[in-house]
Amino acid sequence: MSIQAVVFDAYGTLYDTQSVAAITEDTFPGYGDLITQVWRLKQLEYSWLRSLMGRYESFSSLTRDSLAYTLRVLGLKDDGEAFERIIEKYLHLDLYPDAMAALTAMKDRKLAILSNGSPDMLNALVHNTGLDRVLAATISVDVNKVFKPSPDAYRLIETTLSVPPASVLFVSSNPWDACGAKAFGLNVAWIERVTPEAMALACVESETIAPLTMFKALRSQMDELGFAPDHRIHSLSELPGIAASA
Amino acid sequence: MSIQAVVFDAYGTLYDTQSVAAITEDTFPGYGDLITQVWRLKQLEYSWLRSLMGRYESFSSLTRDSLAYTLRVLGLKDDGEAFERIIEKYLHLDLYPDAMAALTAMKDRKLAILSNGSPDMLNALVHNTGLDRVLAATISVDVNKVFKPSPDAYRLIETTLSVPPASVLFVSSNPWDACGAKAFGLNVAWIERVTPEAMALACVESETIAPLTMFKALRSQMDELGFAPDHRIHSLSELPGIAASA
């Protein structure tokens, strides 16, 4: 069946969540990268835990909660203003360099985002980076009040775009998201945003592995969840070819 | 309302999952502790992700999957036999030193375990450590095919023991489990199994934080999930007093 829609995860796939590190580093010198890694880990954990507890809160809210947790665990004190400045950056994340050209090259198909982000966060982000001009829809899981990888989150693609799962190519850098989408029945391309650190992990002694390296490795390696993506890519520029031949 | 039943989480609360480290260290010198920490992190992630995906597999199965993931990410090769030896140790975890005395002191109440563990793992563990002589029930979430912190997991306490949530004292060292139990309506004691490393985290420079320290801190600090435990304890020996005064 031909691909009618290409749907992207937002955070970590189109947008580089690590781009917050310039602000966190500026605010807490020496901790910039570590904050973003721990923050991201807990942000994900809280999305899964709250979904499972049946206690959904918006991604915007748990992004604040997970930042508060991170600063507390690292023993860092903020003055409230710094906290808001870091949070604000989440609305101005950088697009990955390969994003805009890939989207433009596929503009004859329905293009959309399906993200855990709350509508206020996503709309600001998409507007601030000009993606609103190429996307047919920016879908937030907030409609169904449950986060990915729940089937109720992926179901929103068909509800919104009227394209059945078998005609959708879903793109994510997040291994658990790629597995969840595959389990739901979408065609899945996993973009491996491999860091040199993660690649080199196997070559160093355990005592010399930095926590940062370890965290990056844990976010970038495919999970053992019983599902494998259909395509494994290293740049979004590979997508037009995949969409055309599927 | 008086406490009629005291129900314990198993892994990390009564049983020290870190006690696997002797075997992992013996098998992969220099990586013993790191393996157990990454393994535990992914074991939890997989339990939440599979629950959310609606793709439940037994804890026994995802304990194997998460170990396979851990060895792969760390670039460690095993010969199959080593893998089985490590897995086998999960059936012979050490009881924390404060466990048996605390349980014995409360033997006039209904005592039970509510664990993510699959029945085969839990029954072996409870038998191997003699807890079968003091427990009224060893409850596995496997009955409802969904892991904690889903309400359907905590519901099994009343189903099995016929004690309503308000008369149950639930004990866990896992912050997310304490929050989940509280959200469900149980009385909750969170046992802080604080490691000296986690305590000292705030006092060191970020470059010198080891990944191990970071992982331990992330498992031992209370989460920001909107729920707080009723009691915060540092030893299981505090429980008989709490149960009596509740």
List the CATH number of the domain containing B63.
1.10.150.240
Those residues whose C-beta lies under 8 Å from the C-beta of residue B159, and which sit 6 or more positions away, are none
pLDDT at A211 (0 to 100): 72
pLDDT at B202 over 70: no
Average pLDDT, chain B: 92
- The more confidently predicted of residues B217 and B135 is B135
A198 lies in the same domain as A105: yes
Q: Would you place residue B128 in the very low, low, confident or very high pLDDT band (cuts 50, 70, 90)?
A: very high
pLDDT at A117 (0 to 100): 97
- Residue A88 has a CB neighbour count (10 Å cut-off) of 12
Q: What are the pLDDT digits (tens) for B134-180?
A: 999 999 999 999 999 999 999 999 999 999 999 999 999 999 999 99
Number of domains in chain B: 2
B150 lies in the same domain as B69: no
A186 lies in the same domain as A215: yes
A197 lies in the same domain as A223: yes
Contacts A–B by Cβ distance under 8 A: 153
Last residue of one domain, picked from the residues B59, B74, B91: B91
- The more confidently predicted of residues A159 and A78 is A159
B190 lies in the same domain as B81: no
B150 lies in the same domain as B235: yes
Q: With beta carbons less than 8 A apart as the criterion, state whether A176 and A150 touch.
A: no
Residue with tokens 């029954």: B123
B241 lies in the same domain as B139: yes
Cα–Cα distance between B138 and B119 in angstroms, integer? 8
Residues 154-183 of B with CB under 8 A from A: 176, 179-180, 183
A79 lies in the same domain as A97: no
pLDDT, mean of residues A85-103: 94
Task: Please judge whether B52 and A180 are an interchain contact, meaning their C-beta atoms are less than 8 angstroms apart.
Answer: yes
Q: Would you place residue B197 in the very low, low, confident or very high pLDDT band (cuts 50, 70, 90)?
A: low
Q: With beta carbons less than 8 A apart as the criterion, state whether B171 and B7 touch.
A: yes
Considering only CB atoms, which chain A residues are within 8 Å of B75? 201-203
Last residue of one domain, picked from the residues B91, B115, B136: B91
Q: Is A9 a residue of the active site? A: yes
Beta strand ranges found along A97-167 (DSSP E): 110-115, 137-140
3-state helix, strand and coil shares in percent for chain B, rounded to the nearest 5:
55, 15, 30
A42 lies in the same domain as A108: no
Q: In CATH, what number is assigned to the domain containing residue A150?
A: 3.40.50.1000
Q: What are the pLDDT digits (tens) for A178-234?
A: 999 999 999 999 999 876 555 556 555 565 667 777 777 888 899 999 999 999 999
pLDDT, mean of residues B43-59: 97
Element spanning B95, H or E: strand B94-95
Last residue of one domain, picked from the residues B38, B70, B91: B91
A100 lies in the same domain as A208: yes
Q: Give chain B's end-to-end CA distance (angstroms, integer).
A: 7
Report the percentage of chain B scoring pLDDT > 90.
79
B9 lies in the same domain as B113: yes
pLDDT at B120 over 80: yes
Could you give the dihedral angle defined by the CA atoms of residues A199, B64, B42 and A96, in that order, rounded to the nearest 10 degrees? 40
Q: Would you place residue B209 in the very low, low, confident or very high pLDDT band (cuts 50, 70, 90)?
A: low
- Residue A203 has a CB neighbour count (10 Å cut-off) of 7
pLDDT at A207 (0 to 100): 58
Q: Which of B52, B176, B206 sits opposite A34 (nearest CB)?
A: B206
pLDDT, mean of residues A142-170: 98
Range of the domain at B78: 18-91
A116 lies in the same domain as A201: yes
Report the percentage of chain B scoring pLDDT > 70.
93
pLDDT at B203 (0 to 100): 53
Q: Would you place residue A1 in the very low, low, confident or very high pLDDT band (cuts 50, 70, 90)?
A: low
pLDDT at B182 over 60: yes
pLDDT at B13 over 60: yes
pLDDT, mean of residues A141-159: 98
Q: Which of A54, A75, A226 sits opposite B202 (nearest CB)?
A: A75
Amino acid at B53: M
Closest-CA residue in chain A for B71? A202
